[in-house]
Amino acid sequence: MDMQGALCFFLAALILGPGCAVAGDLVFKTGPKQVHLLELFTSEGCGSCPPAEERLSTLKGNAGLWKDVIPVCFHVDYWDYLGWPDRFASPAYTVRQQNYAREWGGDSVYTPEFVLDGREFRTGEIPAASGSGGNLTVELNSAREMTIRYESATPDPKAAWEAHIAPLGLGLETEVRGGENGGRRLRHDFVAFSLVSLPLHAGTNSATVTLAAPKEGEKAIAVWITHAGQSSPVQAAGAWE
């Protein structure tokens, strides 16, 4: 690379920041500290959910977004019976919440419910990244091919890992015409459009997957790592698309 090319590369990197590559590819990574995964289980049919979603939305302007915390909003479907089918809801998200409840020894679920790093989270400030989470690197190219690489903080050749990917929608609005929020205009951020889980290859702790075309309103993406078959994350990363 000549001097002019090196200067252009440096300026592009300075403008775009460390999470982006010059050729249109998205690259984001963590440091060794564990970044927190904050999940919100919610529904457009739940009258007490809008304040919780508003709280989650404040993270858009938080300096810790993507650095300390990765927010993901899962819309469950068990409020649909009230007459308003939540267009973002998925039975898979309901099952995810039910799995958490079983792990905690509970027999019921509720909304709104925050879950921080696999544990019920009711009050308090979201902590800064801390502890040892290992290094997670995510690359997404223009063909929507994503490569995930994870380096555990405590390497174990026998450990099995899974990656979980959630494209996120922001600035989404719905005119609700039924259920407990009937007549209200709701705004949503960090909405999970889907959830893709896949194992990391033993030895390399990496995997590659092609994502579906982005939906309208998709503006960010979240990725987290768990031990195979477990729900609690050991590391998480996210970025604006």
pLDDT in tens, 149-178: 999 998 888 899 999 999 999 999 999 999
Look up the pTM and report it: 0.89
Average pLDDT along the chain: 90
Residue 5 has pLDDT above 70, yes or no: no
Band of the pLDDT at 107, cuts 50, 70, 90?
A: confident
Residue 74 has pLDDT above 80, yes or no: yes
CB 70 within 8 A of CB 37: yes
Residue 3 has pLDDT above 90, yes or no: no
Domain assignments of the chain as residue spans, ordered by start: 17-240
Which residues is 218 bridged to in the sheet?
169
Residue 101 has pLDDT above 80, yes or no: yes
Q: What is the pLDDT of residue 236?
A: 98
- CA 96 to chain CA centroid, Å, is 14
Report in angstroms the alpha-carbon separations of 27 from 17, 78, 130, 141: 10, 36, 22, 8
Q: What is the pLDDT of residue 24?
A: 65
Structure tokens at 205: 């702790």
- What does the pLDDT look like over 197-226, one tens digit per residue? 999 999 899 999 999 999 999 999 999 999
CA-wise closest residue to 75 among 230, 186, 162, 160: 186
Q: What is the pLDDT of residue 22?
A: 44
CB 139 within 8 A of CB 189: no
- What does the pLDDT look like over 23-52, one tens digit per residue? 569 999 999 999 999 999 999 999 999 999
Per mean pLDDT, which range of 55-64, 71-80, 135-144, 149-158 is the poorest?
149-158
Residue 127 has pLDDT above 60, yes or no: yes
